[in-house]
Amino acid sequence: MLIEFTLNRKRVAVEAPPDITLLTLLRDYFNLTGTKEGCSVGECGACAVIMDGRLVNSCLVLAPQAAGSEVITIEGIRGPDGGPNDMQENFITYGAVQCGICIPGMIMAGEALLMHNPNPTRAEIRTALAGNLCRCTGYQQIVDAIEATARSREGNR
Partner 1 sequence: MPRFDYVRAGSVAEALRLLAEPGLTSRPLAGGTDVLVYIRHERAPFDRLVDISRVPELKIIERRGNEVVVGGAVTYTEAAESPLLRQVAACLVEACLTVGGPAIRNMGTLGGNVVNAAACADSLPPLTCLDTMVHLRSLAGERTMALSEFIMGPNRTAIRAGELLTHFSFPVPPDGARQVFIKLGRRNAQAISRLSIAAIGRLDGQGRADYVRLSPGAAMPTPRRLTEVEAMLLGQVPTDELLIAAGVRSAEVMIAVTGRRWSTEYKEVAIQALAERVLRRVLVL
d(CA 52, CA 44): 21
The stretch near partner 1 (CB under 8 A) out of 29-37, 41-49, 71-79, 95-103 is 41-49
Of 136, 120, 138, the closest CA to residue 128 belongs to: 120
Q: Is 48 in the site for partner 1 (CB under 8 A)?
A: yes
- CB 18, CB 62: distance < 8 Å: yes
Which of these segments, 5-13, 26-34, 74-82, 126-134, binds partner 1 (CB under 8 A)? Answer: 126-134
Q: Is 24 a residue that touches partner 1 (CB under 8 A)?
A: no
Stretch that binds partner 1, among 6-14, 47-55, 76-84, 134-142 (CB under 8 A): 47-55
Residues 132-151 contacting partner 1, CB under 8 A: 132
Distance CA 68, CA 56 (A): 16
Instruction: Give the burial class of 31: count Cβ atoms within 10 A of its Cβ; 0-12 exposed, 13-18 middle, 19 or more buried.
Output: exposed
Q: Give the shortest CB-45-to-partner 1 separation in angstroms.
A: 6
